[in-house]
Amino acid sequence: MTQHAISTATASAAQLYCVTLRWPNDDAGSFSQNVHATDPWEACVVTARLMAEAREEDTEGSYPAFEDQADREAWIAERAADSMECSLVSDSLKWDLSELFAAELFPDGVRYDLDIEALRTLVSANREFLRVKPTTPKLALKFKMVDSGNCRVYYTDPNKRLLCFQLANRKNFELLYCTAEGEPSHTIEHLNKDVLDFPQSEPGIAADFIEWWALVSNPAQIAS
């Protein structure tokens, strides 16, 4: 893409461009960046300046990347004029979505352009569904003892801290951290815990706890 060809684009508000420029013959590969610019030529120049900075960082302490500022500016212009790709990210996104979700977007086979602002609205309204939250490893709990009189099943965490599942109401338990003496201190979340073993399933609090844990650790079973 030449400077003349892409500088004729109508100036507009800054948009996000995906730009890939070639390194000179004595360097390998290419240099890609997403940059904001008002037109394709400006996007290529901005990317070429970032490319020049990268070259300076690579050669720092070894030899000067450029003879002087004039040499640097000439190098930037040359790199900008030798782009491999310069496209609007929004256009690429619309194309990719049209291909990826063709069956859902165009069930009758007739293709339409996608409204990027409508997509932005949908993303804003559904961000919680779209964002994949990192999974936190569950805290493994090891069985310690049953206190039937106080309706408690005691466990220890990997740090040997004492916890107990205590009957809160009919066949529902809550998990609490305990003092060293075994007295409940405060309630904590139980869904991010992994019970490694269970007490013997005898009639009473132990059997009630095992039945309750099987339900809460399998939401699908509750739903059914």
More confident site: 33 or 24: 33
Return the pLDDT at 60. 81
Return the pLDDT at 171. 78
- Evaluate whether 114 touches 98 at the Cβ level (below 8 Å): yes
Return the pLDDT at 8. 44
Maximum average pLDDT range among 1-5, 60-64, 203-207: 203-207
Q: Is residue 9 over pLDDT 50?
A: no
Q: Is residue 2 over pLDDT 70?
A: no
User: What is the spatial distance between Cα 30 and Cα 22, in angstroms, rounded to a whole number?
Assistant: 5
| 172 strand-pairing partners | 169
Return the pLDDT at 150. 93
Maximum average pLDDT range among 11-15, 59-63, 171-175: 171-175
- Evaluate whether 44 touches 69 at the Cβ level (below 8 Å): no
Residues of the chain with pLDDT > 90, as a percent, come to 71
End-to-end CA distance of the chain: 61
Secondary structure E strands in 61-107:
83-88
Q: What average pLDDT score do residues 150-176 get? A: 93
Token pair recorded at residue 16: 């996000």
Q: What average pLDDT score do residues 204-209 get? A: 91
Q: φ and ψ at 132, to 5 degrees?
A: -85, 110
- Evaluate whether 176 touches 186 at the Cβ level (below 8 Å): yes
User: What is the spatial distance between Cα 190 and Cα 173, in angstroms, rounded to a whole number?
Assistant: 10
Return the pLDDT at 10. 44
Q: Report residue 19's pLDDT band, with 50, 70 and 90 as the boundaries.
A: very high
Q: Report residue 133's pLDDT band, with 50, 70 and 90 as the boundaries.
A: confident
Q: Is residue 26 over pLDDT 50?
A: yes
Q: Please, what is the average pLDDT of the chain?
A: 88
Return the pLDDT at 220. 54
User: What is the spatial distance between Cα 96 and Cα 164, in angstroms, rounded to a whole number?
Assistant: 52
| 97 strand-pairing partners | none
Q: Report residue 183's pLDDT band, with 50, 70 and 90 as the boundaries.
A: very high
Residue in 136, 144, 151 with CA at minimum distance from that of residue 196: 144
